[in-house]
Amino acid sequence: MGWDFSTEPEFQKKLDWVENFCRTEIEPLDLVFPYAVRSRNPKIKALVKPLQDEVKAQGLWALFLDKELGGPGFGQLKLGLLNEILGRYGSAPQIFGAAAPDTGNMEMLAAYGTDEQKKRWLTPMLNQEIWSAYSMTEPQGGSDPRLFKTHAVRVGDEWVIHGEKWFTSAGKAADILFVMCTNGMFVVPRDAPGVEIMPEPRTHNHIKYNDVHVPLDHLLGPEDGARVLAQRRLGGGRIHHAMRTISQCKLALDMMCERALSRESHGKIISEHQMVQEKIADSYAAIQMLRLYVLETAWKIDNSSIRETRTDIAAVKYSMAKVLREVSFNALHIMGSLGTTNLTPIQAMYAGAPTMGIADGVDEVHKATVARNVLSGYEPHEGFWPTEYIPAKREKARSKFEPLFEKDPDLRKIADGYAEYIARRG
């Protein structure tokens, strides 16, 4: 089995191009024209399209999709290396045609959609002619499908959907909604009669589906297949969130290190204070551990499947939220009062960290999943003592040497001497 931490030189050139492109082209666009990618203004769209054309010319458009689904087919490991860069710049994922929630929805369409559904929805989504949202979580059931109540009833040549969804990110800005019902996944136009988007929350929307009628061909995948589609979507989404979180953590580390070398406190540069050094050292180690775990998990997906890697995906998911929370907290403290304002990215990063522990399933659920899966590989010990109970292991080990002791009494005396020493030591 190979064990390699290097990146192929040719792909490293791609990564270098992406980093330079994001820094010199995308970041300035973000700063002057926020949310330019979703703008309907033709003048602003004219600024976005040339950048997207450059991305496509580099073969980096919709880079999350496998080749058989119409993408470049980089695989999860290379995607992780790319997302480490994209996640640092606000609109970079959208400029590269790889932004959530559209990515997961496009993957479901590519994998389970009919030719007609792909033509109607996937192609326009890939071209960013329309936008989507994923409507899964419910007020009473959270993200647990076993507690969902939103249901679709077949009436003639239509499905009638009734229920209530909560935390549908970007729902009010979407053209189509992927609605997870107890009996299937449905594509619902946002402007369909009966779709009621509540005024709050403003970004992660509360939506009521009041007997919404959609044609039969708006069912995505098989009837009663929503959980299968959701697992495919969410598994990839969680690892992709983790990939981009690394870039946010690195940005926080960059900022705290620069600040530590630039400011004075109590007569010396603050980087010379041990408490500051501790925050920097702890942050660096936490980021490196998370990064290696994310890349290893991506490698496992490439060499097996999302399903077979679900334990690591769940562990990565709650680990990323913890590291982002701790690193951004350290950065905020080193930045001082400036870190509490919206004049740097730190305050928003720290404020958003708790959301990362809730989105795509709360951390507590993922921890329970990991614990169950890990425990399934173990058995309870027999009798009173655990396997590693030293007196019992020592007794068993001595019986192994008994034939030698019978042949050599002096060897037995030496062993007895060690036993007496251990007994005296307690």
**Per-residue pLDDT tens for 185-207?**
999 999 999 999 999 999 999 99
Cα–Cα distances (Å) from 391 to 294, 385, 417, in that order, read: 40, 10, 16
Please choose, from the candidates 96, 93, 137, 106, the residue with its C-alpha nearest in 3D space to the C-alpha of residue 232.
Answer: 106
Rounded Cα gap, residues 263 and 357, in angstroms: 33
Angle between helices 274-303 and 76-86 (to 10 degrees): 140
In the chain, the percentage of residues whose pLDDT exceeds 70 is 100
Cα–Cα distances (Å) from 77 to 5, 8, 291, in that order, read: 11, 12, 11
Give the model confidence (pLDDT) of 353-411 as tens digits. Answer: 998 998 888 899 999 999 999 999 999 999 999 999 999 999 999 999 999 999 999 99
Rounded Cα gap, residues 261 and 109, in angstroms: 49
Q: Structure tokens of 364?
A: 């507590």
Q: Evaluate if residue 176 carries a pLDDT over 60.
A: yes
Q: 303 in helix, strand or coil?
A: helix
Burial of 340 (0-12, 13-18, 19+ CB in 10 A): middle
Mean pLDDT of the chain: 94
Q: Structure tokens of 136?
A: 């899964």
pLDDT at 231: 84
Residue 207 identity (one-letter amino acid): I
Q: Is residue 353 a contact partner of residue 325, using CB atoms and an 8 Å limit? A: yes
What are the chain's domains? Answer: 9-113 (1.10.540.10), 132-220 (2.40.110.10), 227-375 (1.20.140.10), 390-425 (no CATH)
Give the model confidence (pLDDT) of 73-92 as tens digits. Answer: 899 999 999 999 999 999 99
Please choose, from the candidates 21, 8, 195, the residue with its C-alpha nearest in 3D space to the C-alpha of residue 95.
Answer: 21
Name the residue with higher pLDDT: 169 or 2: 169
- β-sheet bridge partners, residue 168: 205
pLDDT at 1: 54
Q: 16 in helix, strand or coil?
A: helix
Give the model confidence (pLDDT) of 268-309 as tens digits. Answer: 999 999 999 999 999 999 999 999 999 999 999 999 998 899
In the chain, the percentage of residues whose pLDDT exceeds 90 is 88
Q: Evaluate if residue 66 carries a pLDDT over 90.
A: no
Of the CA atoms within 13 Å of residue 52, those in its CB half-sphere come to 20
- Per-state percent for the chain, helix, strand, coil, to nearest 5: 60, 15, 30
Q: In what order do the strands lie in the sheet with 184-189?
A: 132-135, 176-181, 184-189, 219-220
pLDDT at 362: 87
pLDDT at 144: 86
Q: Is residue 97 a contact partner of residue 61, using CB atoms and an 8 Å limit? A: yes
Give the model confidence (pLDDT) of 207-252 as tens digits. Answer: 999 999 999 999 999 999 999 999 888 878 889 999 999 999 999 9
User: Read out DSSP for 337-360?
Assistant: GGGGSTTSSHHHHHHHHHHHTTTT
In degrees, rounded to 5, the angle at the alpha carbon of residue 343 between the alpha carbons of residues 338 and 344 is: 80
Burial of 265 (0-12, 13-18, 19+ CB in 10 A): exposed
pLDDT at 368: 94
Give the model confidence (pLDDT) of 77-130 as tens digits. Answer: 999 999 999 999 999 999 999 998 999 999 999 999 999 999 999 999 999 999
Q: Evaluate if residue 12 carries a pLDDT over 60.
A: yes
What confidence tier does 69 reach under pLDDT thresholds 50, 70, 90? confident
Cα–Cα distances (Å) from 278 to 267, 272, 275, 285, 353, in that order, read: 19, 10, 5, 11, 21
Long-range contacts of the stretch 204-207 (C-beta < 8 A, 24+): 204/167, 204/168, 204/169, 204/171, 205/133, 205/167, 205/168, 205/169, 205/170, 205/171, 205/172, 206/139, 206/164, 206/165, 206/166, 206/167, 206/168, 207/135, 207/164, 207/165, 207/166, 207/168, 207/171, 207/177
Reading phi first (left if > 0) and then psi (alpha if -120 to 50, else beta), residue 185 is in beta
pLDDT at 118: 96
Place of tokens 């951390």: 363
